[in-house]
Chain A
Amino acid sequence: MLVKDFKRDFYDVLQNQRVLVLVAFDVDALCACKILQYLFQCDQVLYTIVPVDGLQGLENAFLENAEGIKHVVLINCGAAFDIVEILQPEDHVRFYICDSHRPVDVHNFYNAVQVKLLMREDELSTIPSYDEVFRDDVSLISEDSGNESEDSETGYKRKRFDEESVLRRQERRRWNENREKVLFNYAKFTSYATSAALVMFELAWKLSKDTNNLLWLAIVGVTDQFIHFKTPREKYMEDIIALQSHVTRHNQRGSDDENIMSVNCLRISFEEELNLCLYRHWTLFESICHSMAIACKLRLWSLKGQKRLHEFLAEMGLPLNQCKQQFSAMESTMKPEVKTKMQEYMTKYGLVVQDVILPSFSLQYGYKNLMCATDYVLACTAVLESVDKSKHSTDNFLEASDILQRSSSEKFEAGLASAKLQLKSVVSQVQSFLDMHQIISAGPFLYVFVQEGTADSRFFAHPQCLIRLARFSLQAHCAVSRNKRAQSLPLVLGAPYNLEEGTSLVVGIPPLDTDDERKNFFGKAFEQASKSTSTTAKFHSFDSYIIEMKSEDKSKFFDALISILQ
C-alpha cells in the first residue's frame, strides 16, 4: 500500500519502536540510510542497520535479525518482488519500502496491511488496477467445487450447471489471459524513479529537520542515479531544480559583512560543472581521456583521437604541460577559463553542451575541500566496490559510509585514488574491445565478453563498474561503427565473476537512441531466456538486468536470448 502521509503513517508509527533497516549496496541507498539515521537519532528511535547485497543476502539478514522486530525499513531493495512471499514474516511485521526500482510488484502495492511503500504517488500511475490482477470471487470457487460433488443431482439440473460453469470457465480463462498480458506489459521495462535519498530528504524537510548536511546527501543520491545511467537527464534536471530551491534556502546569507559565514561551515552551491570526471583531483588531460561523453565523441583511444584532443587543447590556448599536471596546480589565470573556453570551441569538434556541461552542486568547507557531487559519487562507489580481496563487502559499506560522513579527508582521497583506478581500467578495457573488434552483433543486440584472466577483470565483478563498462563500450562502439543501426541496438556484456565457481556476470543495457527514457527490457528477457534453457541465472543485485550465471551455460543462454529478442 502506498503511504500517503509519510509523517503520520511512517515516521510517527516508528516512534519508540525498534527498527531494522536493510540497505542495498549503492550510493543512493547509503545516502538515504544516512538521512534516516539522522532522523532516528533526533528522536531516539533504536535501530539496527544491516547492508544487504542481493536477494539471498536480504533473506539471510531478515532471518538473522528479525527476532522481536516489528518494523523493517527496506532502502533501495525489495519493491520489485513480493516481499511477504519471499521473507515469510510473522503477521505483525510491517515492511516500509523506500525503493527507486520500478516496476513495483503488484502484491506489494495491493498488500494493505504488511507492506507500506514510501514512494511518490504520481510515479506509480502505470500499475494495473486491482480488478485486473486479483479476483476475490471466493464464492465462485466454492460453487465450482460444490458443483463437482453434486454429480448425483438430476440430469436437468446438471445441464444447467454445466452451461453456467462452462461460461464461467471461459470467462476465467479470458481473465487469466488478460491478467498475464497486463502483468507482462507492466513489468516489461525496468526503470528507476526518484532517488531514495531525495524521498527521505523530503520527509526530513516535512519534519522540519532538514539540514545542509542532509541536503548534501540527497544531492549525492540524485547524482548517483544520473551518473550510473539510472535516470534520464530530464528527470535529473527536474530533481536538481527541486534541490536547488532547498540549496538557496539553506545557504542564504545576508549581503552585509556581519552575516558572512565562517569558512569552516558547510556550504553548498549550484554550479554548471564541467562534465569531466574527477578533474579537480586529476590532471585535465587524464580527466578528459576518462570522461565518457568527450572520449567517445573525439575517439580518444585512437592515435587520431589523441591528435584531435591536442588540437582541441591548443585551440583553447591551454599549454600541454599545464594540462598534464594536477588541475589544482594549474596556473590560476587558466583555471577559471577552462569552462568558458571549452564551451566556445566545442562545436568545432562535434561536442554538444550536454557532453561538456553538467548542472550540479559543489560543496565547500574549510579552505581545502571543494568537492563536486559527481566526484563524491565516484569516490564513494569505488570504495563500495573495492577490489581489495581482504575486505568483506560490509567493510566497504562502512568505509563508504565514513566518506559520506566527511569525517576524514584522507579517506576521501583514498576513495578518489581508487575511483581513478576504476576509470582507468574501464577505459583500457574499452580500448582492447575496440582494438580486437570484440563487440559483435548478434542480430537483435550487440554482445561482448571480458576475457577470463584479463588484468582488470576483478574491477568488473561489481555491478556499477560493470554497467559503466557496458555503457562506455556501447557508446564507443557507436562512435566508430559505420553501421547506422548501431544506435538502436542494445548491448549485452559478460564478465567473469567468480573463477573458482566458474560464474560470470551478465549485464544488458538498452540502446543509445532510447537514452532519454533509460528503460531496460533485459530483466524480462533474461528471465525468459533462463527459463527456456533451464539454466540457473540468479539476480546478482536488486537490478534485474544484471544476472549471475554459470560460464558454461553462456552459449546456450545467448541462443535463447537471440530467439527471444528477434
Chain B
Amino acid sequence: MLAEKALDLIRELHRTSSGTLSPYNEDKIRQVLEEMKTLFEQNKDKAHSVAEGQTDQLSSIQLRHAGIQRNKRCLLAYLYNRLEQIRKMRWEFGSVLPPDVKYNMCEQEVQWFNQYNRLLANYMRSIGESGGLDLTQDMKPPKTLYVLVRCLLDHGEFETQDGNIILLKKNSQHYLLRSECEHLIRQGVLEHVVQ
C-alpha cells in the first residue's frame, strides 16, 4: 500500500520503550526512499502530459505527491526522535555511551553525537569559575548535601576532599558529602540509604 512502510517506522519508534534506542532501521529507510523515488519518477512522466493539456491525470499526480510528502514527514520524524533520544542519553550516561547503544546508531548519528559532545563540553568549560561547571551533575537539586551510605564491599581507604581518610569496609555506614561519594555509588561500592 502506498506509504505504508513509512508508517512502520513510526510504529517502531512508538514501540520502543523510553530510555532505549532501537537499532537504526536502514533497510526500511532505503525502501521508503525507493518508494518515494518511483513515485517521483511516475509523477515526472505524468506531469509532462498534464502540461500538454491532459487534465484527467491531475488527481493521481496530486495523490502521489501527497504520498511523497507524507513519507518525507515520517522519515524526518523518525530521525528527529532518534536524535532527541540520543541527546537525552548524553545527559544521562555522560560523554561515553554504553556499547549496546552505540551499536544501534548509524554513522551519521555517531557523527552528530560527537559534535554535540564537543559543543556541550566547550560550553561547560566556558561557564562557571575556573575549570568550568559540570551541568550533567545534580540535574535535580539534591535535598541534602550529605548522604548516608553503606559499604557493599571492602574497598579500602578513601580520601575525602578535606584530607580525611575513611576506611570503606564492608557493612560500615558513613555520612559523606554527596558529590564525593556519587561516583562510588555508581561503581557499586557504596549504597545510598534512603531515609
Binding site for B on A (CB under 8 A): 18, 37, 40-41, 44-51, 64-65, 67-68, 392, 394-395, 397-398, 405, 407
- Segment from B17-25, B97-105, B112-120, B171-179 that makes contact with A: B171-179
Q: Using Cβ atoms and an 8 Å threshold, which residues of chain A touch B167?
A: 64-65, 67
A46-B176 contact in complex given A37-B148, A394-B170, A398-B150, C-beta closer than 8 Å: yes
> Smallest Cβ distance from A352 to chain B, in angstroms?
43
Residues A46 and B146 in contact, CB atoms below 8 Å apart: yes
Given contacts A41-B195, A48-B173, A51-B171, 8 further A-B pairs with CB under 8 A are A41-B148, A46-B146, A46-B174, A46-B176, A50-B169, A67-B165, A392-B170, A398-B150
Asked if B164 is an interface residue, CB under 8 A from chain A, the answer is yes
A49 to B148, CA, bound (A): 10
Q: From residue A74, how far is it (CB to closest CB) to chain B in Å?
A: 16
Answer whether residue B145 sits at the interface, using C-beta atoms and an 8 A cutoff: yes
Q: In angstroms, how far is the closest chain A Cβ from the Cβ of B148?
A: 7
Number of A-B contacts (CB under 8 A): 54
Asked if B174 contacts A48 (CB within 8 A), the reply is: yes
Chain B residues with Cβ under 8 A from A48's Cβ?
Answer: 166, 172-175
A-facing residues in B162-195 (Cβ within 8 Å): 163-167, 169-177, 194-195
B193 CB to closest chain A CB, in angstroms? 8
The interface residues of chain B lying within 8 Å CB-to-CB of A394 are: 170-172
Q: Are A68 and B146 in contact (CB under 8 A)?
A: no
Distance, CA A405 to CA B194, complexed state (A):
10
Give chain B residues whose Cβ lies under 8 Å from the Cβ of A407: 194
Q: Is the CB of A44 within 8 A of B166?
A: no
B152 → chain A, closest Cβ, in Å? 10
Which A residues lie within 8 Å of B145 (CB)? 44
Contact among A64, A395, A405 for B169, CB-based, below 8 A = A64
Q: Contact size class for B? A: 20 to 34
Closest to A407 in B: B194
A-B contact pairs, 8 of them (CB 8 A): A37-B148, A44-B145, A49-B172, A50-B169, A50-B172, A50-B173, A65-B172, A392-B170
C-alpha gap A51/B171 in the complex (Å): 9
Q: Cβ of A49 and Cβ of B173 under 8 Å apart?
A: yes
Q: Are A68 and B172 in contact (CB under 8 A)?
A: no
**Chain A neighbourhood of B175, CB < 8 A:** 37, 40-41, 45-48
The distance in angstroms between the C-alpha atoms of A45 and B144, with both chains bound, is 12
Contact A18 B171 (CB under 8 A): no
* Chain A to chain B: the 4 pairs with minimum beta-carbon distance, closest first: A394-B171, A49-B173, A47-B175, A68-B164
| A44, A392, A397: the one within 8 Å of B146 (CB) | A44
- How many Å lie between the Cα of A482 and that of B171 in the bound state? 51
Residues of A close to B148: CB separation below 8 A: 37, 41
Residues of B121-173 at the interface with A, using a CB-CB cut-off of 8 Å, are 144-146, 148, 150, 163-167, 169-173
In Å, the complex CA distance between A64 and B171 comes to: 14
How far is B164's CA from A395's CA once the two chains are assembled, in angstroms? 26
Scoring A48, A392, A394, A395 by chain B CB atoms within 10 A of each residue's CB, the highest score goes to A48
Closest to A21 in B: B173
Minimum Cβ distance to chain A for residue B163 (Å)? 8
Complex Cα gap A398–B174 (Å): 13
B146 touches A41 (CB 8 A): yes
Chain B residue with Cβ nearest A392: B171
Which residues from A are CB-within-8-Å of B173? 48-50, 398
A390: min CB distance to chain B, Å:
14
- Chain B nearest CB from A185 CB (Å) reads 40
* A397 to B170 alpha-carbon distance, docked (Å): 12
Residues of B within 8 A of A405 (CB): 195
A398–B146 CB distance below 8 A: no
Residues of B within 8 A of A50 (CB): 169, 172-173
In the assembled complex, the CB of A338 is this many whole angstroms from the nearest CB of chain B, namely 37
A158 to B59, CA, bound (A): 140
CB distance from B128 to the nearest CB of A (A): 24
Determine the chain A residues whose CB is within 8 A of the CB of B194 once the complex forms. Answer: 407
How many whole Å from B185's CB to the nearest CB in chain A?
A: 16
What is the distance, in angstroms, from A411's C-beta to the closest C-beta of chain B? 14
Query: Which of B165, B169, B171 is A398 in contact with, Cβ under 8 Å?
Result: B171
Q: Bound complex: CA of A18 vs CA of B159, how far in Å?
A: 13
| A44 contact set on B, CB distance < 8 A | 144-146
Q: Which of A37, A41, A46, A395 contacts B171 (CB 8 A)?
A: A395
CA of A47 to CA of B146 in the docked complex: distance in angstroms?
A: 11
CA distance A406 to B148 in the complex (A): 17
Nearest-neighbour CB distance to chain A for B150, whole angstroms, equals: 6
In the complex, which residue of chain B has the Cβ closest to the Cβ of A402?
A: B193
Q: Shortest beta-carbon distance, B180 to chain A, in Å?
A: 11
A396 nearest in chain B by CB position: B171
